[in-house]
Amino acid sequence: MSTLRFLRTFAAVARHGSFAVAAEQMALTQSAVSMQMRALETEFKHELFDRCGRKVMLNAMGKSLLPHAQQLLSLYDAMRMVAGGLEEDVGPVSIGAVESVVGALAEAAAHLKIARPNLDVRIMAAKSVDLAARVDSGEIDAAVIIDTLGRRPASVQWTPVYSEPLVLLANATMVPESVPELLKSQRFLRFDRTQRTGIVIDRAIRKQRLKVNEFLELNSLEGIAELVRQGIGVAVVPLLRRSSWMCDDALRVMPLPQPDAKRIVGMLERAEHGKMAVTTAIVRHLQDVI
């Protein structure tokens, strides 16, 4: 099955244009991703990528092989779903998600349900902390939440799905300054520190020794973005994968001085449950949607 794993990694590299990001998505080291891609190139007797610094792009051969790899992976996933009982009535599958992920999770679940109409998938929104407690207690089957790199009980399993870099969100009309200067001079709109995203943001600010002009604390990323559009202040937020902030004429998105700061989104589920074939399939669809 190693070739299938290599093809899944190949698809991840093609999707993200980066060995490093693909490694994170596949829970591998970057060197392992490089090794797998070299093995595929040896197998097919062709190079598959054009490499430019940290960026990698599919070359002509890679583009030709990608649809076949995706078709093979889809067929294998379908086989796993059949073996896992998805062709039978597995009962309702309850999955929670943080507010910023609900839309993508619903779309992923819808794609899966179109292929398997007998599935009963139920989605709910709540804070990461609440959802983690519900998974641990068995109240829900799984949850797509924010990771804080803390220790998790042995009764649960964590699967990284994707990451989002932390950025400074500023109004487009603000005088261009460096990120530290904007944070110090402008009113700071902080995301709720009782939530995991707020904890991740606070850690990054402290680690980078950034000084902020505290003004208001909110628990809505879109609410913060709207206040920034109005010129109320600036904010440090995760660059949501499905947001239009980069194309918004009223906003300026700026990398932090240390651009490796990010929040990690993943699926938390009980280590052993009878619906893992469903949750695994939803993770695959969620990665495609994102």
Please, which residues have CB within 8 angstroms of residue 184's CB and are 6 or more apart in sequence? Answer: 211, 212, 213
The answer to whether residues 36 and 71 belong to one domain is yes
Interval 38-83: pLDDT, tens: 999 999 999 999 877 667 889 999 999 988 888 887 777 667 666 6
pLDDT < 70 stretches in the chain:
1-2, 53-54, 77-78, 80-90
Q: Among 83, 104, 130, which residue terminates a domain?
A: 83
Q: What is the pLDDT of residue 177?
A: 83
Which CATH number do you get for residue 239? 3.40.190.290
The answer to whether residues 140 and 68 belong to one domain is no
The answer to whether residues 144 and 275 belong to one domain is yes
Element (H, E) at 69: helix 60-83
Interval 112-135: pLDDT, tens: 888 778 888 999 999 999 999 999
Which CATH number do you get for residue 128? 3.40.190.10
The answer to whether residues 116 and 52 belong to one domain is no
Q: How far is CA 218 from the centre of its chain?
A: 22
Please, which residues have CB within 8 angstroms of residue 245's CB and are 6 or more apart in sequence? Answer: 169, 225, 239, 251, 253
Count structural domains, the chain. 3
Q: What is the pLDDT of residue 116?
A: 78
The answer to whether residues 251 and 275 belong to one domain is no
Enclosing domain of residue 46:
2-83
